[in-house]
Amino acid sequence: MRYLFRIVVVLALLAELSACGYHLVGTTSFLPEDIETLHVENFKNQTKWVEMDQRLMEAMTLEWVRRRRLRLVDTAGQADVVLSGAIQRLSVIPVSYDEQGRANEYQMSLQAMVQLKDVRSDEPVLLWEDKAFSRRTSYQVDPRAVDYFDRQNIAMDVLSDEFSSALVTAVLEGF
């Protein structure tokens, strides 16, 4: 009898969860089904970090291709929707120091304004926007190491990948 009660409780919970709109991340989309093509514009780089816009563009393109929800096109004129934005801030701050007071761990943060617009009509329609979408990553360095600055470049690539993955999820799921 107790076993039957547990089964009923589990089934009731499963029914409740499925009715509440729970789903696995990346398995749903708030975008209308008739949207099929996407153009990703180069984000405007408002920072002093010269290559960040290029790294971010490459990471976003790869992430959209990996997700397969929308087909990427070369121009806004071919697209149903256009993703655009501006990199507002890229900062690096030390977060940990060695015994001599030299930084041995840094945190890199990226913030961007991002918009997704439906461009199928004469007047574009804003579908999704985040005025301060951000991600951060930490990386360790040895101040005496030869590859000290290479670590920063690697961190920029990691941050671009993490930013892009989170951004595509947010756009597709409407967060």
pLDDT in tens, 70-82: 999 999 999 999 9
Give the CATH number of the domain where residue 50 resides. Answer: 3.30.160.150
Per-residue H/E/C for 59-125: HHHHHHHHHCCCEECCCHHHCCEEEEEEEEEEEEEEEEECCCCCEEEEEEEEEEEEEEEECCCCCCE
Q: Is the pLDDT of residue 23 over 70?
A: no
Please enumerate in sequence order all residues whose Cβ is within 8 A of that of 72, keeping only pairs 6 or more positions apart, or say none: 37, 38, 39, 40, 61, 64, 65
Closest alpha carbon to 63 in 38, 88, 44, 46:
38
Distances (CA, A) of 90 to 44, 65, 132: 13, 25, 12
Degrees (nearest 5) of the Cα angle 131, 135, 139? Answer: 150
Residue 10 corresponds to which tokens in the numbers above? 């589990």
Least confident of 1-5, 35-39, 82-86, 136-140: 1-5
The verdict on residue 23 lying in a domain is no
The pTM of the full predicted model, rounded to 2 decimals, is 0.78
The verdict on residue 20 lying in a domain is no
The verdict on residue 158 lying in a domain is yes
Q: Give how many domains the chain has, as a whole number.
A: 1
Distance (Å, whole) CA 34 – CA 80:
9
Q: State whether residue 4 is helix, strand or coil.
A: helix
The verdict on residue 9 lying in a domain is no
Least confident of 13-17, 118-122, 129-133: 13-17
Residues 124-137 have a mean pLDDT of 95
pLDDT of residue 82: 97
pLDDT of residue 27: 44
Range of the domain at 64: 29-173
Least confident of 112-116, 141-145, 158-162, 164-168: 141-145
Distance (Å, whole) CA 126 – CA 113:
13
Degrees (nearest 5) of the Cα angle 31, 89, 30? Answer: 10
